[in-house]
Amino acid sequence: MEKFSRRSVMGMAAGVVAGGVLAGESASRGAAPDKQKKSEPHETARPQSESVYQFCMGSAPARTYGESSIREHKLHDFPMSASMSASLITLVAGDVREPHWHPNSDEWLFVMEGAVRMTIVDGKGESSQFDCAAEDVAFTPQGFGHYVESIGSVPAKLMLVHNHAEFTTVNLSEWVAAGSTSVFSSTLKMPANAFDDIPSERVFIATKNDKK
């Protein structure tokens, strides 16, 4: 299977930057302080369980981004799950899980509640966009760029499963922030000032500018 190339990433970056997803209200443009603030657990704690075969995901520390949040486990949290890991994500209406890709795992997404719009970019830079409702499943191959937007009237509740106990993630905001503006400007054929509103740190979950 052809993996996601850096050229494909650049193609996706152009659309994302032009669309303002990375410069969403919650990330940079005058959102209320509690909406801008995100929380990170100081350490990963393994919820108590009666069995080594069980992990209490609902009791795992949550990273919060406004009213959206994520809980997850990796190998350290759930040693018995040596080849798989999982996340629970809540996305309030209008929030976006920023564009990202996983270099070492496929991703299987199950919609438990609400509705989301998935965008996946394949190894040739071609994108596919589709909507998922409750009980739908979406699959993103290893290395393919993707992002998720909550489009329903209620928060979307998602379960994500990776076929790697220590899956890694490259977030577009981190990648662009760490790169050279002149290189991105030249490669994407965009003016340098188009990157002025790009955040200097990871966004992870943002609110689109057109959210009412």
pLDDT digits (tens, 9 = 90+) for 2-30: 443 444 444 545 454 434 444 443 333 33
Contacts of 146 (CB under 8 A, 6+ apart): 99, 100, 101, 107, 118, 119, 120, 121, 140
Ordered structural domains, the chain, with CATH: 6-37+65-207 (2.60.120.10)
Q: Give the C-alpha separation, 45 to 54, whole Å.
A: 14
Give the residue with greater pLDDT, 45 vs 109.
Answer: 109
On the CB side of 27, CA atoms within 13 Å amount to: 24
State the Cα–Cα distance between residues 133 and 156, nearest whole angstrom: 9
Mean pLDDT of 163-185: 82
Give percent of the chain with pLDDT exceeding 70: 67
pLDDT digits (tens, 9 = 90+) for 49-78: 789 999 999 989 999 999 999 999 999 999
Q: Are 146 and 121 in contact (CB under 8 A)?
A: yes
